[in-house]
Structure 1
Amino acid sequence: MTELIDALLPRASNPSPGSAVVAAVLPDGTVDITVAGATINAACLEGYTDRAAADVVFVIPVRGGYVVVGRFTPPPAP
């Protein structure tokens, strides 16, 4: 049954923890994120302060949407 639900609902409508890309930073402190090709609005934890478009962020599902926990740190340069 889970496979059918996943096939019918895009991942943005069926949230799970993972990564997303910030599409835009909004004046109210929220961000628009892109998840599975869909752009949706998300709240951010206070620790994610230096928000910028194109950030790859870790998100968790909350009440049918997402909350951004923080930005993934790029690996150190070799």
Structure 2
Amino acid sequence: MSLIDAVLPLAARPTPGSAVVAAVNVDGTVDITVSGASLTASCLETYTDRLVGDVVFVVPVRGGYVVVSRFTTS
């Protein structure tokens, strides 16, 4: 593990990947968990029927994340 990885959590250095939805907010955002850290993310309109527990694909935008879509379960 590099020093930067030990000092900064992965959520502070966003990269594309997966996250888990921890809460669905009334303003259309979701709270996600990424590498043990929780944060709020915006969602593309194509990610509908948002549910707690969804495993979603996220991309970094301006130091945070945007949820693109839910991974399928099949």
TM-score by length of 2: 0.94
8 Å contact 1:48–1:71 — kept in the other structure?
A: yes
Q: CA RMSD in A?
A: 0.7
C-alpha separation between the residues in 1 aligned to 2:39 and 2:61?
A: 13
Q: What is the percentage of aligned positions where both structures have the same residue?
A: 71
Runs of 4+ in structure 1 over 2 Å off: none
Match of 1:17 in 2: 16
TM-score by length of 1: 0.90
Please say which structure displays the higher CA radius of gyration.
1
Aligned length: 73
Instruction: Give the gaps of 5 or more residues in structure 2.
Output: none
Instruction: Give the gaps of 5 or more residues in structure 1.
Output: none
Question: What SS does the corresponding residue of 2:5 show, helix, strand or coil?
Answer: helix
Question: What SS does the corresponding residue of 1:6 show, helix, strand or coil?
Answer: helix
